[in-house]
Amino acid sequence: MKDTVSITGAAHTDRIHDSASKHVTGAADYTDDIAMPEGALHAYLGVSDVAHAKLRGIDYTNVLATPGVVGVLTADDVPGVNDISPTGLNDEPVFPTDLIQFHGQPLFAVIAETREIARHAAEKAKIDCEVLPHALDPIAALNAGYPHVTAPLKLERGDVDPALDAAPNRVKGRMAVGGQDHMYLEGHIAFAIPGEDDDVIVNCSTQHPSEAQHMVAHVLGVPSNAVVVNVRRMGGGFGGKESQMNLFCAVAAIAAKKWNRAVKIRPDRDQDMTATGKRHDFVIDYDVAFDDAGRIQAVDGSFVARCGFSADLSGPVTDRALFHADNAYFYPNVRLNSHPMKTNTVSNTAFRGFGGPQGVIVAERMIEEIAYATGQDPLDVRKANFYGCEGRNLTPYHQEVEDNILDRLIGELEETSAYRQRRADIIAFNKTSPVLKKGIALTPVKFGISFTATWYNQAGALVHVYNDGSIHLNHGGTEMGQGLNTKVAQVVAEAFQVDFERIKITKTTTEKVPNTSATAASSGTDLNGMAALNAVEQIKERLTAFACETWNVAPEEVRFHANQVHIGKDTLSFDAFIKQAYLARVQLSAAGFYKTPKIHWDRAKGQGRPFYYYAYGAACSEVTIDTLTGEYRVERTDILHDVGRSLNPVLDKGQVEGAFIQGMGWLTTEELWWDDAGRLRTHAPSTYKIPLASDRPRVFNVNLADWSENRELTIKRSKAVGEPPFMLGISVFEALSMAVASVADYSECPRLDAPATPERVLMAVARLQGTV
Amino acid sequence: MTYRRDIRFILNGTDVSVADVAASQTLLDFLRLERRLTGTKEGCAEGDCGACTVLVGRLGSAGLVYEPVNACIRFLASVNGCHVVTVEHLSGPNGRLHPVQEAMVDHHGSQCGFCTPGFVMSLYALWMQTPEPTVGEVETALQGNLCRCTGYEPIIKAAVAVSRYGTPASDCLTTERDTMTARLKSLQDTQRIVSGPEDNLSIIPADVDDLADCLLTYPDATIVAGATDVGLWVTKFLRNIGPAIFTGHLNELKTVKRQDSLLKIGAGASYTDCQSLLSKHLPHLVPYWDRIAGWQVRNMGTVGGNIANGSPIGDTPPVLIALGAEITLRRGDTRRTLPLQDYFIDYGKQDRAPGEFVESIQVPLPGPNDLDAAYKISKRRDEDISSVAVGIHMSVTDGVISNTRIAFGGMAATPKRATAAEAALNGQRWTRDSFEAAADALAEDFSPLTDWRASSEYRMLSAQNLLRRFFLEQDAQTDAPVQLAIA
């Protein structure tokens, strides 16, 4: 019999974001929208105005004399350990006691009746310090003999130096790759409510509630079981709320316990941008050897990163830069070194791609260098160097690439974007256009999926079925706009075969699922979807056993389908069946768990299988530049991206589009600029320019590779989507590079650092024209 | 004299009267903290992200007009006599979604949702004004709204589709227009309002003459027109702006009209207020105008304010100086008129005496032999402060250049004429060589700064190239485009 009815919100169907109606009406609650309890107080951070100094003391007289100020929170008030370093390196105090390490470093917090009072009063402290010399950028730090903030990594395979020396062609170059501010629309915020005993509840905007919980317990000197962290949703995260919420949670919680009143802390946008970390900027030296056909023979790369004053997540971030320094290309001999430099700047952190993009862009730069050196279309050089079969499928970290689909994917995109014809047309156009010049580039991405910290690859979920048949879903992941809750609910709906609307999606809380990992590394759906499915399967197993016993049928005769349960010849509604199961005392709740199989990583050896699988994609972008001003416009972008068998194609497409634009912003207009004193001068949207609607490609064709299926047993054979498409923005950068190169008839690969602001484009043009 | 002490306006459907409104009290904090209308979000507190977008309806010379504005930098005192519409007002009875909201949901226009209410409000304003907008019109309307998640594509699709979900004719702001007009009229009176604590006074003059009087009484008061700059003095620099005299409600200052060979712009006219007459009389300024800030700021910000605050990177001074504009300042009943270029004395120093205010700007309209251009360069094309801006004006008669005025922003401590470059052009023939000489002469005119917007080298090179662009663009010999088209 053919099933003619189906459920709403099944897996692999388009489904609107579960909060969409609340978003558009303003009814979706973010942390700052939660009603404050009676007597709540507000905290605001006081910060340093020098980049590096011995801290001698702070005079709070004028702060405390301000009407409405309740008190000041200092390092002395930290009852537990004055440390919020996510790595346990103990290098990041809540407030420093003797050393200021960057301009804008939080030194204390003012607690007051209103946020405005606290904010004004925070300006009134007198900070006594002895200024020390500072190093802001990673090269300056290297030259000044600054240490690494965390252990560097080396990946090596083959005989690099002989291969470099023996090759017929060799290019060395240096590229500076800029950082990026997250510019989530909702800034950091935490709101703590004290409870009895050691208890405290912290509502905050975080991708990592468990870490916030552990960190609050750590600074309070209480066990983790005293602390509850809640997050219903974030107004964007992008990695910026993976560890950076620790400070705000700590301050709110300590103050709440100290004064026994609820305390909220919400920095202004400028303080959010100056006091919290960003994407790491890198200076990368590459040395690449290749044959006359453009096939790479050896690569030597050195990745120097601005990490800021503490390690934070710089270890795994700089590791991932190396993991992706091959992008999609086989390097027969390779040596890659990271240099995670300490600098007197804010401590850099996770950001979508987590170091990966900085690795990928250098791989693409090397391809461009080879293309110019050998006079080829860069796409041909790319194809010649893709990972292949046996003998050409080993990464620099000794993982075999088993699931490469780039040949097909690139082939299709090359066709649908009419890349070859358009490139020929562009070269012709450039010959006759005196001022405007065009460029086109088709670039791939291969991105490894899994946390490289192997233990992070676990997740939990809690599913309750109530006796009216309604379902309560909770899992350890957090919702920041990516549609995680929608996708996990689809998995649950599909597994129970009930309508999506029956499932209540609830806030993420450390009370329900303990020891969760950050919602990061694109892993949210992979991990939490599996954990939720595991919980559902447990309940279904009990239900099936109950049905078999009661109806006296075999397990194969129990079938959940379209809000009904078929048992032998009987059919019951899901509700009626659940009611019966309840009356028969079947446990209708389960905690699910999942851990990613197959992965292992030996960092000391630089060998292993850190990634469960790879996600792939490619983009073809065309740009026009104005060679008088350096201004540009993206004319067209075509994307074909691999998300395996999509759980929700429309949400995945939204991730691809958004990631591309964010990646484009990273490489074009988003520039972080520090002055000589170490003060970040691009500190708010007035000065830090993320893409606008009018910056979108004039033609934007985005498609999912609907034929792709994850060859690993991931949730419904889907693939992670959060980060990989971010790197599709590199196509815009390389298209800009081609347009620049046209002014010298493509005779050399332009020196172009990222972001390619109009200024950088014009100066690259002028260099090739010999006018500067 | 007796003054009223309370600010009165209509918030969604409700009459509101707030006593003692401090000058620095923002509309956003009032909505979120005092009214718990938390649908309106704070994203940046500087008018750049649009998450706080609300509509403000006010009675102008053309009747009741609703415009999207940034509640974060809009002072509460300035909405006296207005109708403030927040996202909470949009949904119909029983929570039925508004057509704009429905379109956004159906097209997956939200991801994290934090920017979404702001987008909804901008799109709402657009739909009421232009029910079936082009993609270009949508992009212009959304210059003041940032989204970090979607990449905008679904939002644009939603915006273009809204008319399929409903027509403005059945929207409550249309159906209740007459009653709302009557309600707002009943709020109007001829009394000066003085509100707020002594050290942070809000003063709302009854009319322009009263403004002149207020300024005699409080000669050092902060004059607040659109608040698009002064707003940041409060939200970012934590300055006390009291006493502040608000002028945004003074329709007399908002007149934009042609008088013989002049365009006369009231100092209180917003960028938006100027738009229709600019496109008629100064069409070369239209694309430039569309790149001034975002829609919300163009609705609030005034040409007078842009001039009066003396920024070296204000958008309008360079192009108005090039056109030979004059400004009229008034103190009490005394008026004086001076060339705009002379108003800017040095960085942060303008030729405005205590108690004086800018009343109007007079812009001579170009003649038949005149060539005019306005160019702006910024890191991001839209809603960005210029690295370099320039207005160029000259006459070309029988192939000979005369009357050249070239004024740059971003190249010096004030908006400034490029006198050496002008001299290099005047009396010369219209040739590429003449412009090359002018480009060289720019190096005598300016030694620009390096900052986060641009380096000194880039500013100089691109400024020189803008002269080259002008030549190529105006020159009959060039047929290839020399500038990126806007669309």
Q: How would residue B477 be classed by pLDDT, with cut points 50, 70 and 90?
A: confident
Q: Which helix (H) or strand (E) holds A357?
A: helix A356-374
What is the overall mean pLDDT for chain B? 96
Q: How many CB atoms neighbour CB A115 within 10 A?
A: 19
What pLDDT was estimated at residue B487?
Answer: 53
What spatial distance separates the first Cα and last Cα of chain A, rounded to whole Å?
77
Q: Which residues of B touch A631 (CB under 8 A)?
A: 377, 381, 484
Q: Is B60 a member of any domain?
A: yes
In chain A, how long is the greatest CA-to-CA distance? 89
Q: Does B483 reside within a domain?
A: no
Q: Is residue B111 part of a domain?
A: yes
Cβ distance B97 to A624 less than 8 Å, yes or no, reads no
Q: Which of residues 181-200 of A touch B (CB under 8 A)?
A: 182-187
Structure tokens at A629: 């001003």
- Which amino acid is located at B71 in the chain? A
SS3 A23: helix
Please say which residue of B364, B396, B422 terminates a domain: B364
Return the beta strands (E) in B186-342 as ranges. 193-195, 202-204, 222-224, 244-246, 256-259, 262-266, 326-331, 334-339
- Which A residues, 116 through 145, put their C-beta within 8 Å of a C-beta on chain B? 116, 119-120, 123
Q: Are B388 and B467 contained in the same domain?
A: yes
Task: Give the gap in angstroms from C-alpha B461 to the nearest C-alpha of chain A.
Answer: 8
Alpha-carbon distance values, A21 to A25, A232, B149, B381, B429 (Å):
6, 16, 17, 32, 64
A49 touches chain B (CB under 8 A): no
If you ran DSSP here, which 8-state letter would residue A146 be given? P
Interface test with B, best of A13, A14, A25 (most B CBs within 10 A): A25
Query: What pTM did the predictor assign?
Result: 0.98
Contacts of B466 in chain A (CB under 8 A): 628-629
Kindly state whether A757 is in contact with chain B, defined as any CB-CB distance less than 8 angstroms. yes
> Does residue B480 sit within a domain?
no
Number of other residues whose CB lies within 10 A of the CB of residue A747 = 10
Task: Inform me whether the C-beta atom of residue A766 falls under 8 Å from chain B C-beta atoms.
Answer: yes
Q: What is the mean pLDDT of residues B139-164?
A: 98
Note whether B378 and B470 are same-domain residues: yes
Same domain, B263 and B360: yes
Report which of A529, A525, A471, A545 is spatially closest to residue A502, judged by C-alpha positions. A471
Is A732 near chain B, with CB under 8 Å?
no
A632 → chain B, closest CA residue: B484
* Cβ-defined contact of A686 to B42 (cutoff 8 Å): no
Q: How far is B100 from chain A (nearest CA, A)?
A: 9
Choose, out of A24, A191, A765, the residue to mutate when testing the contact with B (most B CBs < 10 Å): A24
Confidence at residue A4, expressed as pLDDT on a 0 to 100 scale? 65
User: What b/e string do you get for B450-482 counting C-beta neighbours within 10 Å, with b at 16 or more?
Assistant: ebbbbbeebbbbbbbbbbbbbbbebeeeeeeeb
**Closest chain B CA to residue A757:** B379
CB nearest to A436's CB, from B104, B236, B484 = B484
Partners of residue B72 in chain A, C-beta under 8 Å:
none
Is residue B241 within 8 A of residue B23, CB to CB? The reply is yes
Give the gap in angstroms from C-alpha A545 to the nearest C-alpha of chain B: 40
The predicted-structure confidence for B374-413, as pLDDT tens digits, reads as follows 999 999 999 999 999 999 999 999 999 999 999 999 999 9
Active site residues of A: 723
Written as six digits, the tokens of B10 are 């209509």
Provide the percentage of residues in chain B whose pLDDT is more than 90.
Answer: 94
Q: For residue B424, what are the domain limits?
A: 370-474
Q: Find out whether A312 and A189 touch, Cβ atoms under 8 Å.
A: no
Residues B26 and B17: their CA atoms lie apart, in Å, by: 15
Q: Which residues of A287-316 are buried (b: 16+ CB within 10 A; e: fewer)?
A: bbbbeeebbbbbbbbbbbbbbbbbbbbbbb
Restricting to A residues 662-681, those with a Cβ less than 8 Å away from any Cβ of B are: 662, 669, 671, 673, 675, 681
**Domain CATH code at residue B25:** 3.10.20.30
The 10s digit of each residue's pLDDT in B30-48 is 999 999 999 999 999 999 9
Sign for the CA dihedral angle at A313, A316, A322, A327 comes to: negative
**Residue B77 Ramachandran class (φ > 0 left, ψ -120 to 50 alpha, else beta):** alpha
Give me the number of domains chain B comprises.
4
Say yes or no: B344 and B459 in one domain. Answer: no
Place of tokens 């504009």: B325
The minimum CA-CA distance between A684 and chain B, rounded to whole Å, is: 7
Do B142 and B106 share a structural domain? yes
CB-based contact A644:A708 (threshold 8 Å)? yes
A185 contacts B51? CB cut-off 8 A: yes
Percent of chain A as helix, strand, coil, to the nearest 5: 35, 25, 40
Q: Which of B224, B246, B268 represents a domain boundary (last residue)? A: B246
Are B351 and B320 in the same domain? yes
What is the pLDDT, as a whole number, of residue A5?
84
Q: Report whether the peptide linkage leading into residue A755 is cis, meaning its omega lies within 30 degrees of zero.
A: yes
- Residue B459 CA to residue B455 CA, distance in Å, equals 6
- Taking the Cβ of residue A654 and every Cβ of chain B, the question of whether any pair is shorter than 8 Å is answered with yes
Separate counts of helices (H) and strands (E) for chain B: 18, 20
Q: Which residues of chain A have pLDDT under 70?
A: 1-4
Q: Best of B105, B134, B149 to disrupt the A interface by mutation (most A CBs within 10 Å)?
A: B149
**Which chain B residues are closer than 8 Å to A183 by Cβ?**
146, 148
User: B106 vs A24, B121, B158, B170, CA distance in Å?
Assistant: 11, 17, 8, 21
Whether residue B88 and residue A696 make contact (CB cut-off 8 A), yes or no, is no
Which residue in A has a C-alpha nearest to residue B120's C-alpha? A24
CB nearest A693 (choices: B87, B139, B466): B139
In CATH, what is the architecture of A135-177+278-401? 2-Layer Sandwich (3.30)
Q: Is the domain of B106 the same as that of B236? A: no
CATH for B119: 1.10.150.120
CB contact under 8 A, B377 and A671: no
Residue B76 and residue B209 in one domain: yes
User: Is B31 domain-assigned?
Assistant: yes
Identify the H or E element spanning B138.
helix B135-141
For an interface test with B, give the residue of A116, A478, A692, A769 to mutate (most B CBs within 10 A). Answer: A692
For residue B40, count other CB atoms closer than 10 A to its CB: 24
Whether A233 and B381 lie within 8 Å, measured CB to CB = no
Instruction: Choose the closest CB to B48 out of A234, A268, A685.
Output: A685
Q: Is residue B481 part of a domain?
A: no
> B111 with B63, same domain?
no
Residues A491/A495/A501/A504 CA torsion (nearest 10 deg): -70
Counting Cα atoms < 13 Å in the Cβ hemisphere of A471 gives: 31
Using CA atoms, how far residue A308 sits from A134, A247, A278, A279, A346, in Å, is 12, 16, 10, 11, 5
Does residue B79 lie within any of the structural domains?
yes
Helix axes A649-667, A730-741, angle to 10 degrees: 40
Q: What is the pLDDT of residue A1?
A: 44
Indicate which CATH number applies to the domain containing B303: 3.30.465.10
Q: How many interface pairs between A and B have CB atoms less than 8 angstroms apart?
A: 275
Are B45 and A268 in contact by the 8 Å Cβ rule? The answer is yes
Asked if residue B236 and residue B315 are part of one domain, the reply reads no
CATH number of A34-133+182-275: 3.30.365.10
Residue bearing tokens 């001299």: B423
Q: What are phi and psi of A423, to 5 degrees?
A: -65, -40
Sign of the CA dihedral with A27 first, then A30, A36, and A37 last = positive
Domain boundary among B344, B364, B384: B364
B376: which 2 tokens? 């702006």
Nearest Cβ partner of A186 from B91, B104, B114? B114
Cα torsion B341, B347, B353, B356 to 10°: value is 70
Peptide bond into B317 cis (omega under 30): no
Nearest to B114 among A235, A268, A771 (CB): A235
One domain, residues B388 and B456? yes
ipTM over 0.90: yes
Write down the CATH number for the domain with range A20-27+458-594. Answer: 3.30.365.10
Find all residues with CB under 8 Å of A60, minimum gap 6, and list them: A72, A108, A125
Of A186, A432, A654, the CB nearest to B154: A654
Contacts 24+ apart (CB under 8 A), A578-582: A578/A465, A578/A467, A578/A468, A578/A469, A578/A543, A579/A467, A579/A468, A579/A469, A580/A550, A581/A542, A581/A543, A581/A546, A582/A467
Q: Could you say which of B91, B381, B478 has the minimum Cβ distance to residue A631?
A: B381
Contact A29 B38 (CB under 8 A): yes
The CA distance from A215 to A246, in Å, is: 7
Do B346 and B437 belong to one domain? no
Cβ–Cβ below 8 Å for A693 and B155: yes
Residue B56 lies in a domain: yes
A685: closest CA of chain B, how far (Å): 6
Spell out the domain ranges in chain A. 20-27+458-594, 34-133+182-275, 135-177+278-401
Taking contacts as CB-CB distances below 8 angstroms, the residues of chain B near A432 are 480
Could you tell me which residues come within 8 angstroms of residue B238 by beta carbon, excluding any fewer than 6 positions away? A119, A120, A123
Within A17-84, strands assigned E span: 41-47, 53-59, 69-73
